[in-house]
Amino acid sequence: MNKNDTLSNVLYIDLTKKKSWVNDRRELFEKYLGGTGVATQLLMEECPEGIDPLDPESPIIFAVGPLTAVFPLASKTCAMFKSPHTGDLGESHAGGRSAVAIRMAGYGAIVIKGASEIPVYLSIRDGKVFFKNAETLWGMKDSSIPARVIRQNEKGEGLRAIFRIGQAGENLVTYSSVTTETYRHFGRLGLGAVFGSKKLKGLIVSGKRMIEVNNKKEYRKLYDEIYKAATDSPVMKKYHDIGTAVNIKTLNTLKALPVKNLQMSTSESIEPLTGEEMAKNHLARRVACAHCPVACVHLAYLREPYEDDPYFFKTTPVGYDFELIYSLGTMVGIYDPTQMLKLIDKVEEVGVDAMSMGVILAWITEMVERNKISKADIEGLEIKWGDADAYIQLVDEVTHPKTDFLKACAKGVDFAAAKYGGKEFAMQFGRNEMPGYHTGPACYLGFLLGARHSHLDNAGYSVDQKELLDNTLAPEKVVDKLLDEEAIRQILSSIAVCFFARGIYDLKMVSRGLKLVGFELDDKQLHDIGKQIHLSKYQFKVREGFEFDKLNIPERIYQTEDPTGQITKEFIHNGLKYAQKLIIQ
C-alpha cells in the first residue's frame, strides 16, 4: 500500500480506562486488504476464546477498505464481534457515511474494548477520541432522538457518521442493531447488545483528508469507468429504480416468498406490497450512502392522523426494501403498506433487527394459534396475522421483556423454541432468523453453512434460480459453487465495496483499483486471499463452538412448496456433510 496512506492506522479505544491510542498495522492491511479481511484478524487477536459476548473484554471491530473514499460504491464498513445471538462470529456490514467518515478521520479500523461504568458516546475527530457523557440519552424511547442530540452537539456537518443504539441494545436483546445515518444498520447478530453491554450509546466520527494515488491519469480514467457503470449500467438499475423491493413480485410469482411464517410461499394479497406499487403509492425520497451515486435507500412517507384532531398528522419518513417488506409484511401477514410502515417505524424506534423481529413475531403468532403459549406469556396481548397494532405492542414487550417467555424471545427464536417448543416452525438457521428467500435447497445450504456475513443471504438463491429450476445439481456441486462465490465476496467486503456493485467490481477491476493505492495483486492472488479470509472466519466460528452437527433445521422448509421442488432432507444432509469435510479439514 502507498506510503502515506493512513489506512493502516488502527484506533484502539479502551472504554474502561477511557484511553485511546493508534497502532500502525501495515502488515495486516497489506496481507488482508481491510474490511472483513483485517477485521477477522483483529477479532482473532482481541477476542479471548470462549468469552461471553457481553463481557467487557469482548471487542468490537470496525474496518474499512483501501478503496473507501477512492472509488464509488466502496461505502461499506465491516463490523466484527462475537455475536450474543449465535455465540460465534458476528459480522455485519453497513453503509451510510460510516466508511467514508472512518477513512477520512484517518483510520482503517477501530477496535473498542472494555466497558464504561456510565453511559457514554464517543466523538472521534481531529486525531482524538472524546468520551462524552451519555447519561441523559440512555433509556430514550425513540432511538432517533439521541442521534439528533449528538448531531446538535458535535462538529463535522456533512462529513460525519453517527452510530447509535436504541432501547433494544440497552436491554441486551441479542438481535439489537446499531443504526447509522437513520436508515442504515449494522443489523442482525446483536452488535447493539454488545454496545449496550459496554454502556456505549453511540459514536460520531468525521474527517476530511487526501488519499494519494500513484497514477493520477489512470485514477481519473478508472474512476470514470466505474462511475459510468454505476450510473448507466443495467446491472445497477434494479437498485436505483424500484430498489430491492422489485424482488417481492418476482419471488411471489415463483412461490419463493415466505408468507405467514412460511406456511405458504406465495399469496394473492401481496400486490400492494410489491416494489412497483410501493414506488407508485408511497415512495417519497431516495437517499444514498456516501460516495455511492446509486441511491438505493427508498423512503416512504407514513402519514398517520391523530385521533383527537383530524387536522393533525404525524408524518414520518420510513425506509423500506425487500427484506423489510418480507419480514414485517408478508412473513406476519400484513399486506397493507401503511400498516407495514407503522411496524417498520416501531422496529426502527427500538433499534432491533427487522428480519429477526419479523421471524419472531411470526413464530409467536403461530405459537398462539396452536395454543402452545398462554395469553399471560405475552402480557395479555391478542395476536393475530396481519394485526400491525398488536405487533407494535408486542415489539415493545419483546424488547422490554417481563415474562420468561418474552425474555426467551429477546434471545432469538432458536432459544425460545428450545424452551417452549415449536422448533419445526422456528425459522432460523445457525440460530439466525431467516431472510426472505425460499428459493430452493441451495439457498438453505447457504444459510446453514453460515458462509456469508450476518445477512444470511448467499449465492444460493442465484444457484436455485439459474441451475435448479429446471435441472438438478448434486448437493456437493452446490456447496462448491457457494464457497467459490464466497471467496470473491470476502474480497469485496475487504476492500470494502457494497455487494450490490458486484457486477462492476470483478476481481480484475478490483486489481486495477488496488494498484492505484499501492497494492500489486492480480485476480488469482485476490481469489486466494479471499479463500484464506473465509477460512479464518470459519476458524473463529469453530473456535467459538460452531458445529455442523448442532444445526437445527426447521421441518417447515421441507413442507412448503418451493420453485425447485428439490428441498429434501437428503439434499440438505448431503450438502452439509460435504461442506463439513471441506471446511473442518
Partner 1 sequence: MNFFKIYWKLISYLVIHFTIEKKTDIMKLSVKDAMRCVGCQSCMFACSRRSGNAGLSNTCIGVRSTGGISRGYTVIVCRSCKNPPCASVCPTGALVPQKNGGVRLKSSKCIGCGLCKEACIIDAVFWNEEQNKPVICVQCGICADYCPYDVLELIKDEKEVSHE
Q: Which residues bind partner 1 (CB under 8 A)?
A: 69-72, 100, 104, 144, 147-148, 151, 157-159, 181-183, 208-213, 216, 219-220, 223, 227, 231, 285-295, 299, 316-317, 517
Interatomic CA distance for residues 345 and 310, integer angstroms: 22
Instruction: Record the cell numbers describing residue 253, joined without a space.
Output: 410469482
The closest of 66, 101, 209 to 496, measured between CA atoms, is 66
**At closest approach, how far in Å is the CB of 9 from partner 1?**
14
**Residue 73: which region, alpha, beta or left (left: phi > 0; alpha: psi -120 to 50)?**
left
CB of 96 to partner 1, least distance (A): 8
Kindly state the smallest distance separating residue 42's Cβ from partner 1, in Å.
24
Chain-centroid distance, C-alpha 395 = 19
Which of residues 161 and 383 has its CB atom nearest to partner 1 in the complex?
161
For the bound state, the minimum distance from the C-beta of residue 182 to partner 1, rounded and expressed in Å, comes to 5
Per-residue exposure over 298-335, b if at least 16 CB sit within 10 Å of its own CB, e if not: bbbebeeeeeeeeeeeeebebbbbbbbbbbbbbbbbbb
Q: How many residues does the chain have?
A: 585
Taking the least distance from each CB to partner 1, the nearer of 77 and 316 is: 316
Q: How far is the CB of 341 from partner 1 (least distance, A)?
A: 13
Comparing CB distances to partner 1, the nearer of 151 and 375 is: 151
Strands 120-125 and 200-205, by their bridges, are parallel
Rg (CA), the chain: 22
Q: 34: buried, middle or exposed (CB in 10 Å: 19+, 13-18, 0-12)?
A: buried
Closest CA to 564 of 435, 427, 447, 466: 466
Contact partners, residue 94, CB within 8 Å, separation at least 6: 76, 77, 79, 178, 180, 184, 185, 186, 187
Beta bridge partners of residue 164, listed in sequence order = 179, 202
CB-based contact 476:484 (threshold 8 Å)? no
Q: Which is nearer to partner 1, 165 or 576 (CB)?
A: 165
Q: 344 CB contacts (<8 Å, ≥6 apart)?
A: 318, 319, 320, 324, 328, 354
Q: Which is nearer to partner 1, 184 or 199 (CB)?
A: 184
Q: What is d(CA 497, CA 545) in angstroms, rounded to the nearest whole number?
A: 30
Strands 161-164 and 128-133: unpaired
* Separation between Cα atoms, residue 72 and residue 156, nearest integer Å: 21
CA gap 278, 245 in Å, rounded: 8
How many CB atoms lie under 10 A from the CB of residue 393? 18
In terms of phi and psi (left: phi > 0; alpha: psi -120 to 50; beta: otherwise), the region of 39 is: alpha
Q: How far is the CB of 564 from partner 1 (least distance, A)?
A: 38
Nearer to partner 1, 179 or 247 (CB): 179
- Amino acid at residue number 94: A
- Distance, C-alpha 266 to centroid of its chain: 25
- Residue 196 CB, nearest approach to partner 1 (Å): 23
Least distance (Å) between residue 105 CB and partner 1: 11
User: In whole angstroms, how close is the CB of 107 to partner 1 at the nearest point?
Assistant: 13
Residue closer to partner 1 by CB (options 127, 503) is 127
Q: What is the dihedral of CA 31, 36, 39, 45, to 10 degrees?
A: -70
Q: Which is nearer to partner 1, 207 or 435 (CB)?
A: 207
Is residue 227 within 8 Å of 293, Cβ to Cβ? yes
Residue 94 or 406 having the CB closest to partner 1: 94
Nearer to partner 1, 72 or 169 (CB): 72
Sign of CA dihedral 474, 475, 479, 482: positive
CB of 320 to partner 1, least distance (A): 13
* Minimum separation from the CB atom of position 70 to partner 1 (A): 4
**Complex with partner 1: residue 193 or 300, whichever CB lies closer:** 300
Provide φ and ψ at 115, rounded to 5°.
Answer: -145, 145
Residue (208 or 372) nearer to partner 1, CB: 208
Question: 386: Cβ–Cβ under 8 A, 6 or more apart, which residues?
Answer: 332, 333, 334, 335, 336, 339
> Minimum distance from CB of 181 to partner 1 (Å)?
6
Nearer to partner 1, 287 or 535 (CB): 287
105 or 109: CB nearest partner 1: 105
The least distance separating partner 1 from the CB of residue 303, rounded to whole angstroms, comes to 14
Compare residues 149 and 418 and give the one whose CB is closer to partner 1.
149
